[in-house]
Amino acid sequence: MSKSLNILLIEDDAIEVMKFYRVLKKLEFNHQIIEATNGEEALDILNKKEIVPDIIILDLNMPKLNGIEFLNILKTDDALKFIPAIMLTTSNNHKDVMECYKIGIAGYILKPLKYEEYVDRIGKLLTYWSINEIISQ
Amino acid sequence: MNKNKHREELLKSLENQNRELNEYAHVVSHDLKAPLRNIDTLINWVLEENKDVMSESCLNLLNQVLLNVEKMDLLIKGILAYSTIDKLESEERLIDFNQIIDEITREIHIPKNIKISIIDELPKIHGNTWRFKQLMQNLIENSIHYNDKNHGQIDIGCKENENDFEFYIKDNGIGIAEKYHDKIFKIFTKLESNNQNSGVGLSIVKKIVEYYKGSIWLESKENIGTTFYFTLPKNYATA
């Protein structure tokens, strides 16, 4: 049986957020989405511990705290470092990818140009995670 | 003494300017991607929600928009690739060109009527895997794209000289008229409009070859085919 996931989505582009919701609806997923528009907001949400996300999906290019800075903070926090974090970003810069894998990510997915490719990738990403065993507090 | 110092300063200034231009191209292309993606998404949503009530003409127009968006994306990708070539913090190791070709033929779309053959066993050369792959892939994709024959044939080979390796990629495509032989390596030059090529492919190839201190040239007969030659010095670090 596939789980319903609690997803923390850290994304500052309003259309990207709309896109994410719309794809979930189209694919008839029933995951719960917690939104944050940047890394600082996300850290606030995580530290409040009202809902603990099963996975975190974030972009590299975010205002205030960029993806790599956020990842570093996440991985040094004992309570948060085991939550799988997945990059959903436009950059396929080798340096960025290396850096993320070095700090420790659970996935690195490129935002494609075409909408239908995006639908396919998100579908695969979330299907994969919903068949995984995940830590819930 | 002063002349040398002046020359050094000039060189430094040129290096800085070059680096800035490269970074500029990189940043601009990167930032252009987001609105482009949004346009593709939004048009797809318009289509999703309304295609049952749209006229044939309307559907056609929107699909044209999507095609243009894709074209622009290819262009941006090309500029990004071009501006990144000498910026790459290269991990360099011994690269087996046979393996590179094998990877490429597994990854790209090769039409059923086109056959790619490696004629001579290709060498292993010290360098960066991304650059070498881009180099071969762009040449191969060009050969595929500009082939009009029922049986397309692309031959890849290499000759070892004393100081370098001389590669060739020979196709039986549409050929290139002599007057364009220099022009095609210029960035954004295409000899045909209306196709999905970005026009950057060959300029990237040239930039990579020159990065490794090699040279590139071609022989071609219209309607018969084209052979691209390029050299990679054996010790480019000291070439």
pLDDT number for residue B54: 93
pLDDT tens-digit series, residues B96-131: 999 999 999 999 999 999 999 999 899 999 888 889
Instruction: Quickly count: other Cβ atoms within 10 Å of residue A83's Cβ.
Output: 19
pLDDT band at residue B24 using 50, 70 and 90 as cut-offs:
confident
What Cα–Cα distance (Å) separates residue A101 from each residue in A87, A94, A105, B24, B166?
Answer: 10, 11, 5, 27, 38
B 45-84 residues inside an 8 A Cβ radius of A: 45, 69-70, 73
Contact B69 A113 (CB under 8 A): yes
Q: Is B84 helix (H, G, I), strand (E, B) or coil?
A: helix
Provide, as residue numbers in chain A, all residues whose Cβ is less than 8 Å from the Cβ of B41: 15, 19, 115, 118
pLDDT of residue B88: 67
Domain membership of residue A1 (yes or no) is no
Which residues in chain A are closer than 8 Å to B89, comparing Cβ atoms?
Answer: 95
Cβ burial of A20 (10 Å; 0-12, 13-18, 19+) is buried
Number of compact structural domains in chain A: 1
Look up the CATH number of the domain holding residue B183: 3.30.565.10
> pLDDT by residue (tens digit) across B49-98?
998 999 999 999 999 999 999 888 888 888 888 887 877 666 788 999 99
Q: Indicate whether B78 and B137 sit together in one domain.
A: no
Q: Which residues of B touch A111 (CB under 8 A)?
A: 37
Q: Is residue B239 part of a domain?
A: no
- B114 and B29 within one domain: no
| Pair B158, B47 in one domain | no
- Per-residue model confidence (pLDDT) at position B239: 43
CA dist., res. B226 & res. B175, Å (int): 5
Check if the beta carbon of residue B230 is closer than 8 Å to that of residue B167. yes
How far is it, in rounded angstroms, from Cα B43 to Cα B69? 10
Q: Are residues B119 and B74 in the same domain?
A: no
Q: Worst-scoring range by mean pLDDT, A95-99, A132-136, B53-57, B70-74?
A: A132-136
Q: Which of B54, B84, B114 is the last residue of a domain?
A: B84
Nearest-by-Cβ selection for B41 from A90, A95, A115: A115
B61 and B111 both lie in a single domain: no
| pLDDT of res. B197 | 66
Crossing angle of helices B2-50 and A115-130, rounded to 10°: 80
Question: How far does B237 lie from chain A, in Å, by closest CA?
Answer: 23
Q: How confident is the model at residue B191 (pLDDT cuts 50, 70, 90)?
A: low
Q: Are B175 and B194 a contacting pair, CB within 8 Å?
A: no
Mutate to test the interface with B, among A13, A95, A113 (most CBs of B within 10 A): A113
Range of B20's domain? 2-84
CATH of the domain at A38: 3.40.50.2300
Contact A65, A38 (CB under 8 A): yes
Tell me which of B28, B29, B37, B91 to substitute to probe the interface with A (most A C-beta atoms closer than 10 Å).
B37
Mean pLDDT of chain B: 88
Q: Which domain holds residue A32?
A: 6-130
Q: Average pLDDT over chain A, rounded to whole? A: 91
- The ipTM value here is 0.76
* Residues B141 and B73 placed together within one structural domain of the fold: no
B195-233 burial, b at 16+ Cβ within 10 Å, e below that, comes to eebbbbbbbbbbbbbebbebebebebeeeebbbbebbbb
Has residue B192 got a pLDDT over 80? no
In angstroms, the separation between the Cα of residue B130 and the nearest Cα of chain A is: 10
HEC secondary structure over B199-230: CCHHHHHHHHHHHCCCCEEEEEECCCEEEEEE
